[in-house]
Chains A and B, each alone.
Chain A
Amino acid sequence: MNSFFLKHLKKGELALFIIFLIIFVFFSFASEYFFTLRNIMNVSGQLALTLVAAIGFAVLLISGEVDISIGSLLAFVALPLIQIMNYTESVWLGIIVCLLFGACIGLINGFLTIYLRVSSLIVTLGMLFILRGIVYLYTGQRPIPDELYSDFFFNIGNGKLFGIIPYAAMIALIILVMFIFVMHNTSYGRKLYAIGGNAEVARLAGYNIKLIKLSAFVICSVLGSISAILLASRIGSANHVAGQLFEFQVVAAVVLGGVSLAGGIGNLGGVTLGVLILAIISNGLGMLDVDTQWQLVINGIIIIAAVAFDELRRKKI
């Protein structure tokens, strides 16, 4: 990695890292179960889900667009996944079709935003409801259980390497490293930043903005589909309420991680820290027997605070 990247990483993310450490230390003292290997590994398995989706969301946000339907997407693409697995007994076929469905949704979102010129916020807001509605319709409001009981599928979400390191966390880590590389070291990645940062300059530089943005939508949905696979593996079914309010967790994590809602600013390292911080907060609060409903409240407050801070930072620039 070039020195520019490292220098860039230091400034904003240092603060986040410190916050992470403080919270981590606090919960380690507050609850005896928190700082155990078992707990940490469990948490990392859970947050792998959020992280993968957050990466996709961040990539799209950096290019200047948004997709708030990922929660519904999680439930939606799990349907073909589970159904195909059940009927064809092939896990890989299910995974492939699931990813294809995700890609299609991404294409639709992108098409509506770019070619029909409807704001991506509106498009994906509508998609949020449409996908959820389709899920309810198809499942009759009952989860569709995994009937294949494939060990392989189970391990994706729940298995642990050497009995300790969750495969889910490893998958997330691989994706993270991959995308950090792409965003900072490839022409494609830099173009995403440029388009989000100053679309007019990018246009004059001859970038194919439409195509690049479209691909960002697809990336977001495909990564969301990967999250869906992890989730389906963990809960053993395609659940009609899966992913509800998930989009807010992702948004909170991404904005907390320093990605600007206006586009063009932010990096995946910050996003990871954002996901980590939110994950240990909810885990820690759970250890202290605090109601899960508080999570919504906290997410809401974090979003407001992070956005207000983002606005302030932008004004200064």
Chain B
Amino acid sequence: MQNLIKNNGVILFITLLVLCIFLSIYNPQFYSIQNINSILRSSSTVMIVALGMTILLTSGEVDLSVGALMSFVTVIVMDIINKTGSVVLGFVSVFLFCLVVGLVNGYVRTQLRVNSLIGTLAMMLILQGSVYIYSMSAIYNKHLISFFTFIGQGFVFKIPMPVIIMLAILPFFVFLLNFTKHGRYFTAIGSNPDATRLSGIDINRYKFIGFVITSLLVGIAGIILASLMDTGQQGSAKGFELVVIAAVLLGGTSFKGGSGTIVGTILGILVLKVINNGIILMGIRQEFQLVVPGVILILAVYFDNLRKRSDA
């Protein structure tokens, strides 16, 4: 099992290397600083949410509403800051909103006993619909507060700010999943919830935590996205959940327990983002960006199935 995970990372690394070399030769624009930074920025938002998604998948749950929530967050944060001129108020509103969504997801799963795939899918619908009720049109940056713009578009020592934010959050999760008892609990819950319950662990509590953490992380990612776009846009993160899940699966985590590695997930995200970038650079029709995650998802789950079957 350990070997397979290591292999996963190696394959991804080689794939990434090959892709980068190929694209650099095909179009030198690839390794321009602007391009690299753009890839890094969009990878960071995915990674931030992937941290929460990893926890969920490891414990046997999933959250398909992250894309819709992220879009909603961009709208909320931009709107509140426009109206109140206070970045703090904007952030607080976002976090409260995400907290509620996370709690509802948790409630639907643990108290109403609705399968998280369906429950969060329904939440996705609800959010997709309600964002238009909140505001029919996109919300432009009217406040022009530089601190806000800095979050997405700024640099610290030439590194894009989103990456810094991601790197700041990352160690906490690495620690949580690998060096605390809670990380162990999440894996146990995903692998055998009954046995975990019989060991005296409150699995409902941990599932709630998983959903809330994920939603809060989406809040952070959404704020970054709003800052990058300078707009709050209702459909801005469509398909996001697919990329996140594909990345987490590529990184070695699988449905029903068993956590992959953080490194694997990072590599997975980079591979996906570089492919997307390559599609643009090579002038291939952008619509392929929809097809690629779909195919990768099927393949990733297929191979995951194969792996589980050979282990069983």
Contact = CB atoms under 8 A, between A and B. Distances in A.
B268 interface: no
A69 B112 CA distance: 27
Contact of A126 (B114, B118, B133, B297): B297
B287 A291 contact: no
Contacts of B293: 129
A246 interface: no
Contact of A295 (B129, B288, B297): B129
Contacts of A116: 302
8 contacts: A117-B309, A125-B294, A126-B297, A137-B291, A248-B121, A291-B133, A300-B125, A311-B114
A293 interface: yes
Interface of B: 108, 112-115, 117-119, 121-126, 128-130, 132-133, 239, 242, 285, 287-291, 293-295, 297-298, 301-302, 305, 309
A312 B122 CA distance: 18
Contacts of B297: 122, 125-126, 129
B242 A291 contact: no
Contacts of B126: 296-297, 300-301
Nearest to B293: A129
Q: Name the prevailing secondary structure of the A interface residues.
A: helix
A53 B94 CA distance: 39
Given A118-B301, A137-B287, A301-B122, A126 B129 contact: no
Interface residues of A, number: 39
B129 A294 contact: yes
A127 B294 contact: yes
Given A126-B295, A133-B288, A133-B291, A300 B129 contact: yes
Interface string A253-279: 000000001000000000000000000
Contacts of A293: 129-130, 132-133
A15 interface: no
Interface stretch (A19-27, A149-157, A214-222, A302-310): A302-310
